[in-house]
Amino acid sequence: MNNRSKKINFNHSFIFFLFCNIFSLITLKINNLTISPFICLLLILSIGISHGSLDNVKGRKLFQILEINNFYIFYLAYILIALIIIILWIFIPYISLIIFLMVASYHFGKEDTQFLIIENTYYNQFLFLLKGSIIIFAPIYFHFDDTISIFRLLLIENENFYNFLDLIESKRILLHCIILSTLANILLFTKNFELKKFTIFLDYFSILIINYYFSPLVAFTIYFCFLHSIRHSISLISELDRHDLGNGFKIFVKKALPLTIITAIFYVIGLYLLNNTYNFESAILKIIFIGLASLTFPHILLEYLIEKNEK
């Protein structure tokens, strides 16, 4: 990634850091300020989902590399993988959750950092996993009971899982996990040092701040929409037009809008069906996290296949 893109991402991280601090101060001043799960859902369905809405473009690129002419296979495979994840979550939610949290940690750590780190060694990939794990461990550490409540809403009924969480919370193992994530940030920061790598610490402290002041759902929404998704969208916009980001943004919106709308429609249908069994807020939590899990796996698999075949 060129220096211009690095500068844009650094400015984005700085603005996000300021936003997290200012928004947290406003929350402290206004004691009754709450953000409903419905607002979180709207943000995820618009800003959050849109950063993966060019997967069809990437899929076409992959099929060109593999010399596969029937592009309908891509849509079929993508939807099939998403449905398999949902089915697996229904029947083995405990295992599905653990795998999803690990995959998500690696995905967040890599995509939030790879514009600074060129080498994709196994060592760096391990650091990406540790770095991204702060997204998982911070809400558990700062809001243990609230996070457990979300896990229970996600169909996790394995009491051994909760006994294990109680154990690591009582033994302060969670704190050590956060320290490991901090160490990964430091190692990534010091490797081939350049000033723009302060982005790593701006992101790190922003994540800690929002998880300290906000509920797990709100903190995740702020991170996912305004840091992770916007950063990924910036890289896509740069690829669409390297010389004119304004034009790249217009192309991005035009290309991303159809799949964003289709995905939102499926979310709304799922929410309607779940609302017949669960209360509205519980239905929203289920549709957000299980829905994101079903989209994350084919999204990550596509990124991996493109990266592997381009090499």
CB-based contact 272:56 (threshold 8 Å): no
pLDDT of residue 2: 58
pLDDT higher than threshold 60 for residue 1: no
Which tens digits make up the pLDDT trace of 237-285? 888 888 888 899 999 999 999 999 999 999 999 999 999 888 999 999 9
pLDDT higher than threshold 90 for residue 195: no
Cα angle 203, 206, 208 (rounded to 5 degrees) comes to 110
Q: How many Cα atoms occupy the beta-carbon half-sphere of 79 within 13 Å? A: 9
CA-closest candidate to residue 113, choices 13, 183, 42, 40: 13
Mean pLDDT, residues 175-195: 90
Mean pLDDT, residues 67-85: 92
pTM over 0.85: yes
Alpha-helix residue ranges (DSSP H) falling in the chain: 3-29, 37-43, 49-50, 55-66, 72-91, 93-111, 122-132, 134-142, 144-153, 159-170, 173-190, 198-213, 216-223, 230-240, 245-275, 280-310
pLDDT of residue 277: 87
Token representation of residue 118: 């060129």
pLDDT higher than threshold 60 for residue 180: yes
Cα angle 241, 244, 250 (rounded to 5 degrees) comes to 70
pLDDT higher than threshold 90 for residue 158: no
CA-closest candidate to residue 289, choices 269, 262, 265, 270: 270
pLDDT of residue 170: 80
pLDDT of residue 307: 84
User: Residue 29 class from Cβ within 10 Å (0-12 exposed, 13-18 middle, 19+ buried)?
Assistant: exposed
Residue 40's domain comprises: 3-310
Average pLDDT, the chain: 90
pLDDT higher than threshold 60 for residue 130: yes
Residue appearing with tokens 């697996």: 88
pLDDT of residue 120: 79
Which tens digits make up the pLDDT trace of 3-24? 677 788 889 999 999 999 999 9
Identify the three-state secondary structure at position 171.
coil
Which tens digits make up the pLDDT trace of 197-206? 889 999 999 9
How many folded domains does the chain comprise?
1
Mean pLDDT, residues 283-310: 90
User: Residue 33 class from Cβ within 10 Å (0-12 exposed, 13-18 middle, 19+ buried)?
Assistant: exposed
Which tens digits make up the pLDDT trace of 93-115? 889 999 999 999 999 999 999 88
